Amino acid sequence: MITWLNHIAIAVPDLSEATARYELLGGKVSEPQARVEEGVTVAVVTFPNTKIELLHPLGEASPLIDYLEEHPRGGVHHLCFEVEDIDAASTLLRSVNCRILGNGGPKNGAHGKPVIFVDPNDFHGALVEFEQM
Ligand code: CO
């Protein structure tokens, strides 16, 4: 079902400090991009085999505000795995008692492709996103 690791998302309290750090270490860092509907500003660091998404809260209702309150220095927020078929992935995950967050169905993700997020309580404490490629 899982094909590739698409990205690891890290919540950061200071986006320009974080992008400077990755640039210093040789990462190819994108310009920060506002994703208003998700409540985040994101800078993507591209490596040959995967990406790191540096996430910073955008707006008062950002889901990252609570996260950064709990983790003031930042932290690994979620991983994203690629799958070939999001509906098949959802069915398989539900069959092993993984709850899908939100309305239970796929939504349009940050890259314009369908995604689901699984409840971390059902996935060893990690928030995991699955994205159909
Ligand atoms: Co993601």
Is 37 catalytic? The answer is no
* Cα–Cα distance measured from residue 13 to residue 10, given in angstroms and rounded to the nearest whole number: 10
How many domains does the chain divide into? 1
Burial code (b: 16+ CB inside 10 Å, e: under 16) for 104-131 equals: eebeebbeeebbbbbeeebbeeebbbbb
- DSSP β-bridge partners for residue 10: 54, 76
Q: Which of 60, 69, 70, 129 is catalytic?
A: 129
Range of the domain at 19: 2-132
* Cα–Cα distance measured from residue 117 to residue 102, given in angstroms and rounded to the nearest whole number: 8
Q: What is the pLDDT of residues 7-59, one digit of tens each?
A: 999 999 999 999 999 999 999 999 999 999 889 999 999 999 999 999 999 99
Q: Which residues surround ligand 1, an ion (CB under 5 A)?
A: 9, 80, 129
Bridge-based pairing state of the strands 114-118 and 33-35: unpaired
Q: Is the pTM of this model over 0.85?
A: yes
> What CATH number is associated with residue 100?
3.10.180.10
